[in-house]
Structure 1
Amino acid sequence: MTARAVAVRHVPFEDLGLLAPLLEARGYRTSYLDAGIDPLTAQAAVEPDLLVVLGGPIGVHDTRDYPFLEEEKAAVRARAESGRPLLGICLGAQLVAEAFGAPVGPAGRAEIGYAPLQLTEPGRTSALRFLEDVPVLHWHGDQFGIPSGADRLAGTPGVPNQAFSRGPGVLALQFHLEADHRRLERWLIGHAYELAARGVSPGKIRAEALAHGDLLARGASEAFGAWLDDIETAADRR
């Protein structure tokens, strides 16, 4: 049977990006659930072979303004409790962290642009080992704590918790490893107000994407590939 990967998407341009062709090459059939539009039940979250929760411009605590987040949080908790493979990116990573009982809140600063990670000792033996000295795309103003039982994999000087894993099947990334630099203009248009409000030049991000995009794409392919190997190996052992 064909494996299924479902991605929860919050804005159209923050999609699976570089991860999509890797999943398709491994035989996954991919589809999206658009948050706030498509029903996101616990059953819908638990059924796929892989659930990916993508980024977006809102925060995990914005439930008053965006009530659908309550349904989404319940769905992510159900997935986390199921023990099945789960990948969270940016907002998605914060939702995963909260599902495992970790705090999420403002970082006190925004990170927008390309910058390298500092891998921890567990990070250097994880799927993220391929990102040593590779500038990745950061685009966030919130941060997560590390859940109990999880390994902190990476940080930056300003935001020390950039990634964690919890067993072979759960990976949470504060940064955008999936972002395809060849399609980044959509991000610059979609987040134009935030860039202007924070005084970040779109031209600066374009230049960084040109300088680092190819290297990041190779690192992303290797890192995502290693993580998919890990979850497939774990599945074979069950």
Structure 2
Amino acid sequence: MHCIALRHLTFEDLGVLAPVLHEQGASIEYWNGGRCAYDDRAWMEADLAVVLGGPIGVGDEERYPFLRDELRLVKARLEAGLPLLGVCLGAQLMAAALGARVYPGPRKEIGWGTVSLTPEGREGVLAPLADAPVLHWHGDTFDLPPGARLLASTELTPHQAFALGFGQIGLQFHVEADASRMEDWLIGHCCELAGAGVDPCAIRDDARRLGAQAADAGREVCRRWLKEARRCRAQC
């Protein structure tokens, strides 16, 4: 298998998911958003595609025109029924590509916490998150896209995760986050943390306390996603 991962910040990469992809025999190719050639053919031929997070928003197209290319790529894989995992900005791009509204949430949701899984969420790819922490780091949210099935929520953000076809999943939270590299996030997003009044020391302490459990759950989510993706590819 070959996986193309579209990232927008170097430290917001596949994190704990990368070793699982490698152990399952998948090669990984990173495309750096805004600095890569958006090759439509290569994107559609990839067995797996992941769109990762970043500090920009879907509504920033005028200031960051490359987002239009990413929306086009996301929409093409969704319409073709191909495996696609969207994380944070990636999930927002998926929602927008399907015609759903993406907009600022009531306040930023930043820090380690949990999600509440729906019945379908507890039975599927996200089942390992039933009792596990994840990293929340977003300011925008989205309406549930037409035809999507809700998988997870929090009190602040009702639409935390959704599923479409086999292997097509959008996650508002960061299941891929590697707590051992938390300092990269705290430095890279220091201005956002200060603006939101979030204490980096608390995030750092929670990463040390919860990181191993979060990583185990994230890796199992990835294994389950790969299982669905293989089923999707077999049917395409």
- TM above 0.5: yes
Helix, strand or coil at the partner of 1:203: helix
| Cα distance per residue 1:170-219 (max 9 Å; x no partner) | 01000000000001111111001101111111101001111111111111
Helix, strand or coil at the partner of 1:71: helix
Specify every segment of 5 or more residues in structure 1 that has no aligned partner in the other structure, as ranges: none
Equivalent residue letter for 1:14: E
Instruction: Name the counterpart of 2:52.
Output: 54
CA contact (8 A) 1:134 1:215 kept: yes
Instruction: Name the counterpart of 1:18.
Output: 16
Instruction: Name the counterpart of 2:185.
Output: 187
TM-score by length of 2: 0.97
CA contact (8 A) 2:20 2:223 kept: yes
1:220 to 215, 218, 221: 218
Q: Distance in 1 between matches of 2:27 and 2:164?
A: 25
Instruction: Name the counterpart of 1:209.
Output: 207
Q: Distance in 2 between matches of 1:233 and 1:80?
A: 15
Equivalent residue letter for 1:221: R
Instruction: Name the counterpart of 1:127.
Output: 125
Q: Distance in 2 between matches of 1:16 and 1:171?
A: 15
CA contact (8 A) 2:16 2:218 kept: yes
After superposition, where does 1:132-151 map in structure 2 within 5 Å?
132-151=130-149
Whether 1:29 and 2:37 are equivalent positions in the alignment is: no
The Cα shift of 1:98 comes to: 1.1
The Cα shift of 1:237 comes to: 4.6
CA contact (8 A) 2:103 2:141 kept: yes
TM-score by length of 1: 0.96
1:108 to 95, 103, 106: 106
| Cα distance per residue 1:38-70 (max 9 Å; x no partner) | 011432321211110000000001011111111
After superposition, where does 1:84-103 map in structure 2 within 5 Å?
84-103=82-101
Q: Which runs of 4+ in 1 moved over 6 A?
A: none
Specify every segment of 5 or more residues in structure 2 that has no aligned partner in the other structure, as ranges: none
1:197 to 164, 183, 195: 195
Helix, strand or coil at the partner of 2:60: coil
1:78 to 53, 76, 87: 76
CA contact (8 A) 1:8 1:35 kept: yes
Give RMSD over aligned pairs.
1.1
Instruction: Name the counterpart of 1:40.
Output: 38
